[in-house]
Amino acid sequence: MTDWSLPRLLGALHADIETRLRMSREVFGHPVSKGNASEAVWLDMLKVYLPKRYSAERATVVDSKGAFSDQIDVVIFDRQYSPFIFRFEDEKIIPSESVYAVFEAKQSINLDQVRYAQAKTESVRRLHRTSLPIPYAGGTYPPRPLPPILGGIVTFESDWSPALGKPLSDALAAGSAEGRLDLGCVAAQGTFAYDTQGFHVITPLGKPATAFLLELIARLQASATVPMIDVRAYARWLENEPALGISVKAENEDVSTTDPSV
């Protein structure tokens, strides 16, 4: 009987992710199919291994002032305390207050993809977030300070040579603070993480997919709980939305009604 081995278990998790990403790159012929398959690999890993208080979906983020982010490949958000704003088929709209982290999932990392991920991250961080006082048995806690939203990029490989050298460092250092990428994984070559000293630490090899997952969980733990959302701030938009008109044809007449029961 083979004894359990923690190093083998953690290594197998990485090997599974890297193999699936490699297959998505080699098997699918169309670039969109490749991209969708890669995105699905990362989402599946996060849905399986993140604690259940977190959800991971492809989604768009909205704030209570009516502003929307770009569509994001991977949004990690709270499902314990926060509602969906809208969900239909594959479209998911998530309130800004519920977001913990956003990632772009690409086939490979290069300057264009880093800039693209920075812009997507900025589109989420610029959104307004509410934070209400929190009632408890003995009174009310003050509104919780807004935790930072993590941003990043996950890919299979790098287009640079060396894969994780100065071009990557320079690309990560460029751009605005709102677009900063905090965490990333290049599954075939290594990881990077923004540290408390204000620098990106790049770590080559070392089971990158597993290392990325564990560091992500550690940073999510440090974020604690999302702020208490002001749901009424979203409800105010109902006052400005006209009732839907539904046309019903009865025999030879056109009848218009705003009654949704008709």
Active centre residues (catalytic): 73, 104, 106
* DSSP single-letter state for residue 261: T
Structure tokens at 61: 């983020």
Phi, psi of 118, rounded to the nearest 5 degrees: -65, -45
Nearest by Cα to 77 from 59, 91, 89: 59
Does an H or E element contain 231, and which? Answer: helix 231-235
**Cβ(217)–Cβ(50) below 8 Å:** yes
- Whole-angstrom Cα distance, residue 178 to residue 151? 9
- Whole-angstrom Cα distance, residue 206 to residue 218? 17
